[in-house]
């Protein structure tokens, strides 16, 4: 503000695009090397923000979620989209309060949609029917899909329900709550289909669809995982490949993470779907 007052509105309008003038603050978080609050001129591309300013992702890039729980998940093809109100809306998302969440291959897009929709559902005031009842059904459908009980028809139900809620809700919460789900369905349909048809979670996140396994050939028996397993599912003496009891495994990822970062072997545990 002081700068605008000192330098005048034309100076501020000099940056930015034709229709979205000036700069915008964003909160860049997620799976990028450098996270934080940034202020950039409107019109800057997503690619510049994620890879230049953010330093790119460790794992393969999957999507950018803009606008928080009311926004949409934009896939790789949108990386060259200029960030301004119009382009984001065209893509099916919103600017919102400036949240930019970077998602990589390790994040399940269905799970992300379910998470955001769960949030908006809880925050719903309950006055209008589409938001109060409709978002609850959407959450239930997504839970069904993540649980491995989904059917192909559920995807169409989600889309139809989402459109109904968008068109008939009383306020912005309801009108934008389906956005994460609808954009994910649009740009990442294959991931949904994998959940529904193959009962498989490509990002190996959805608990009911994954299994953990120790690769005997790679395990050195360092016992790092044994010490962190909360249920005692992994057992085995020192210097011998460990055993993973699936019936006790709660899929908390502790063993996987510690093997990756702190164990001698580094890749002895895999999560498969």
Partner 1 sequence: MARKEPRTLTMEIDHRTVTFPEGVTVHRAAELNGIDIPSLCSHKDLSPFGGCRLCMVEIEGMRGYPLSCSTVAEEGMKVLTDTATLRDLRREILKLILSEHPSSCLVCEEREACKDYQGTIRKAGVTTGCRFCPNDRQCELQDLVEKIGVTEIDFPIDYHGYDPEHDDPFYDRDYNVCILCGRCVRMCQEVRGTSVLAFTYRGPKAKIGPAFGRSHAEAGCEFCGACVDVCPTGALADKASKWEGKPDGSLVSTCPFCALGCQIELFHKNGRLTGARAFLDPEVNDGQLCVKGRFCMPEVTHHFERARRPMLQKGRYFREVSWEEALERAARELKDISPDDFVMLVSPDLSNESLFAAQKFARQCIGTNNIDSTARMELAGALELWSRLFSLPISIKDIARADTILAVGLDSRFNFSVVGTKVRKALASGAKLVTIDSRDSNLARYTDDWLAPHPGKEGAVLRIFAEALAGRKVDIRAAAEVGIDAEQLERSLAVMASGHELVVIIGPRVFHYSDGYASGDALVTLAGTQKTNIIPLYFGANSRGALELGVFSEVGPGGAETGQEGSGWAEVLSHSKRPKVLYCIGDVAFRERPDCDFLIFQDIYLPPFSVDVFLPAASFAETGGTLINIEGRVQEVVQVESLPEGAVTGFMRPDWKILADITKSLGSQALDYSSAADVRKDIAAAIPGFPAEADRRPRKMKPLGRLPAATAGAGELEDGNFWLVAEPGGYRHRGIDIASKVGGLCELALEEGFRMHPRDIEMLGLLDGDNVRMTWEGGRMGATVGVKADPECPRGAICFTKRLILGGVKVSPELRPLLGLRQNPIRVRIVRAEG
Q: Summarize as ranges the residues that interact with partner 1 (CB under 8 A).
A: 121-130, 132-134, 136-137, 140, 157, 160-161, 164, 167-170
Nearer to partner 1, 13 or 129 (CB): 129
Nearer to partner 1, 121 or 183 (CB): 121
Q: Is 95 strand, coil or helix?
A: coil
Q: How far is the CB of 165 from partner 1 (least distance, A)?
A: 9
Structure tokens at 227: 């010490």
Q: How far is the CB of 140 from partner 1 (least distance, A)?
A: 7
Strands (E) located in the chain: 23-30, 36-41, 61-66, 72-75, 99-104, 211-214, 234-235, 243-244, 269-272
Taking only Cα atoms into account, the Rg of the chain, rounded to an integer number of angstroms, comes to 22
Question: Do residues 85 and 93 make contact, with C-beta atoms less than 8 angstroms apart?
Answer: no
Q: How far is the CB of 130 from partner 1 (least distance, A)?
A: 6
Nearer to partner 1, 6 or 122 (CB): 122
Nearer to partner 1, 166 or 200 (CB): 166
Contacts of 222 (CB under 8 A, 6+ apart): 238, 263, 264, 265
């Amino acid at each position: 503000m002081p700068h605008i007052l000192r330098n005048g509105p034309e100076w501020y309008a000099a940056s930015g695009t034709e229709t979205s003038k000036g700069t915008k603050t964003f909160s860049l978080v997620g799976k990028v090397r450098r996270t934080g609050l940034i202020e950039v001129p409107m019109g800057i591309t997503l690619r510049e923000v994620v890879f230049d300013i953010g330093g790119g992702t460790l794992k393969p890039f999957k999507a950018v979620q803009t606008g928080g729980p009311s926004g949409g998940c934009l896939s790789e093809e949108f990386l060259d989209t200029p960030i301004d109100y119009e382009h984001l809306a065209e893509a099916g998302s919103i600017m919102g309060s400036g949240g930019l969440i970077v998602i990589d291959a390790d994040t399940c897009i269905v799970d992300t949609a379910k998470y955001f929709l769960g949030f908006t559902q809880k925050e719903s005031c309950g006055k209008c029917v589409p938001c109060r009842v409709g978002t609850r059904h959407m959450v239930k459908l997504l839970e069904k899909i993540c649980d491995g009980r989904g059917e192909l028809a559920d995807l169409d139900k989600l889309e139809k329900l989402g459109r109904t809620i968008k068109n008939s809700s009383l306020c912005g919460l309801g009108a934008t709550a389906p956005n994460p789900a609808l954009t994910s369905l649009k740009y990442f349909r294959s991931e949904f289909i994998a959940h529904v048809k193959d009962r498989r979670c490509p990002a190996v996140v959805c608990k009911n669809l994954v299994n953990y396994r120790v690769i005997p050939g790679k395990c050195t028996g360092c016992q790092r995982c044994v010490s962190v397993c909360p249920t005692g599912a992994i057992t085995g003496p020192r210097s011998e490949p460990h055993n993973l009891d699936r019936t006790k495994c709660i899929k908390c990822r502790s063993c996987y993470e510690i093997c990756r970062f702190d164990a001698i072997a580094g890749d002895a545990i895999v999560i498969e779907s």
